[in-house]
Amino acid sequence: MRCRKCKGKAVLDVPRHHTAFCKACLTEFVCAQVERAISEERMFTKADRVLVAVSGGKDSLSLLDILGKLGYQADAFYVDLGIGEYSRQSKAKVERYTSARGISLHVHELKEDEGAGINDLADLVHRPTCSVCGTLKRYHFNRTAVEKGYSVLATGHNLDDEAARLLGNVLHWQTEYLEKQGPTLPDSVEGFAKKVKPLYRLAEREIAAYAVVNKIDYIVEECPNAQGAKMLLYKDILNRLESESPGTKQAFYWGFLTRQKTDEQARPSMAEHDRAVLRPCVTCGQPTTSEICSYCKLMARAQKNGPTPVGS
Ligand SMILES: [Zn+2]
Ligand SMILES: [Zn+2]
């Protein structure tokens, strides 16, 4: 297999673009796709300070790497969930990557600030671990970005993640989630950072190849709490469709984004809607749609059900 651009030895075929790349051309392709995502979706500019939420996995560390290569001001934020060996290893990978490149790293420790790791917290509130984890991460991602003066929060969600999520939302007609499933969510209200997903044009295997080629040392294991068997099933189904007819995944997700943009012109923008319904949480001051935000509700329940000292 030869690189379609330079005829060197190819390391990855990309059937959805009828092409194959060598190491150097793969890196160039990946960076160009991210640059295109950033400009087409008006995510941020070189003047913005961007906070990248990193887990130690290939997607988030590659995103940090690509933004650095492209010359953006990107720092890292890591939430230590306190899941034994998995958290220790992923945190070590993040620390090694950022310190070697002189990137600022902010860390939030669940065990220190919430008084317990994610598994104990989920037990206390009798809710599935992944859902509690989602609430906590969303809360701290936003709060840290706003408090530390970052205008944008970036996550490492890729095309596979977004297409699988879209499939799940469509199968259950979760229209309120569909409305909010774009690669750019505006900072519509004071107290909310703009949220972006610069990897949405890239498939998981393309990012994995980028990470290997660029010698990024990431944690290969998935979170032991597994991000929901349903999402893995949707990804598997989409991968089977993709191998039969390359381009299906991007046609599905990108096609949705195009239709969403047309719809937006016909109805009031999400920003206007959010401005009307959001207000500061009476407990912590973060923006929310109800009197008390979902994070504070969760922590109040954890405190009621156990002797957990609740932090900030
Ligand atoms: Zn090449
Ligand atoms: Zn709150």
| Domains, the chain, with CATH or none | 23-235+253-267 (3.40.50.620)
Which-ligand-closest: CA of 3? Answer: 1
CA of 62 relative to ligand 1 center, distance in Å? 20
Mean pLDDT of 63-87: 96
Q: Work out the pLDDT band at 309, boundaries 50, 70, 90.
A: low
282 CA distance to ligand 2 centroid (A)?
7
> Average pLDDT in the 226-231 region?
73
Ligand nearest to the CA of 310: 2
In angstroms, what is the span from residue 19 Cα to ligand 1's centroid?
11
Averaged confidence pLDDT in the chain: 91
Instruction: Give the ligand at the shortest distance from the Cα of 191.
Output: 2
In the chain, what's the furthest Cα-to-Cα distance? 65
Integer Cα distance of 196 and 64 in angstroms: 13
Q: Identify the pLDDT of residue 192.
A: 84
Residue 194: CA atoms inside 13 Å, Cβ hemisphere, count?
Answer: 19
What's the 27 CA to ligand 1 centre distance in angstroms?
A: 9
| Strand, helix or coil for residue 140 | helix
pLDDT of residue 291: 92
The closest ligand to the CA of 9 turns out to be 1
The residue ranges of DSSP E strands in 25-133, in sequence order, are 49-53, 73-80, 105-109
Contact indicator for 234, 220 with CB cutoff of 8 Å:
no
pLDDT of 273 reads 67
What pLDDT is attached to residue 6?
97
Per-residue confidence (pLDDT) for residue 256, from 0 to 100: 94
Q: How far is the CA of 56 from the centre of ligand 2 (A)?
A: 27
Residues facing residue 152 across a β-bridge: 50, 194
Cα-to-centroid distance, 303 and ligand 2 (Å): 14
Q: Which ligand is nearest to the Cα of residue 142, counting in written order?
A: 2
**Dihedral (C-alpha) 40, 44, 45, 50: value to the nearest 10 degrees?**
-140
- What ligand has the least distance to the C-alpha of 5? 1
For residue 306, the model assigns a pLDDT of: 79
**How far, in Å, is the centroid of ligand 1 from the Cα of 2?**
8
Task: Tell me, in angstroms, the distance from the centre of ligand 1 to residue 209's CA.
Answer: 14
For residue 267, pLDDT beyond 80? no
Which range scores top for mean pLDDT: 98-112, 166-180, 216-230, 256-270? 98-112
User: Given this model, what pLDDT does residue 176 score?
Assistant: 79
Average pLDDT of the residues in 60-88: 96
Q: For the segment 148-162, what is each residue's pLDDT rounded down to a tens digit? A: 999 999 999 999 999
Residue 179 has pLDDT above 80, yes or no: no
Per residue in 39-52, pLDDT (tens digit) is 999 999 999 999 99
Given the structure tokens 């469709």, which residue do they identify? Answer: 241
pTM: 0.91
Q: What percent of the chain has pLDDT over 90?
A: 75
Q: What is the model's pLDDT at position 72?
A: 98
Q: From ligand 2's centre to the CA of 74, what distance in Å?
A: 27
- Per-residue pLDDT at 310 exceeds 70: no
pLDDT digits (tens, 9 = 90+) for 117-141: 999 999 999 998 888 999 999 999 9
pLDDT of residue 312 exceeding 50:
no
Distance 298 CA to ligand 2 centre (A): 9
Give the closest ligand to the alpha carbon of residue 8: 1
The more confidently predicted of residues 267 and 51 is: 51
Structure tokens at 218: 């990431």
* Residue 293 CA, ligand 2 centroid: distance in Å: 4
**Which residues are within 5 Å of ligand 1 (an ion), measured at CB?**
3, 5-6, 8, 22, 25
Ligand nearest the Cα of residue 20 is 1
Q: Which residues of 141-165 are buried (b: 16+ CB within 10 A; e: fewer)?
A: bbbbbbeeebbbbbbbbbbbbbbbb
What is residue 227's predicted lDDT score, i.e. its pLDDT?
A: 61
For residue 154, what are the contacts with CB-CB under 8 A and spacing of at least 6? 43, 50, 51, 52, 53, 63, 67, 74, 195, 196, 197, 198
Centre of ligand 2 from the C-alpha of residue 15, in Å: 46
Measured in Å, residue 142 CA sits from the centre of ligand 1 at 39
**pLDDT by residue (tens digit) across 185-225?**
776 667 888 999 999 999 999 999 999 999 999 999 888 77
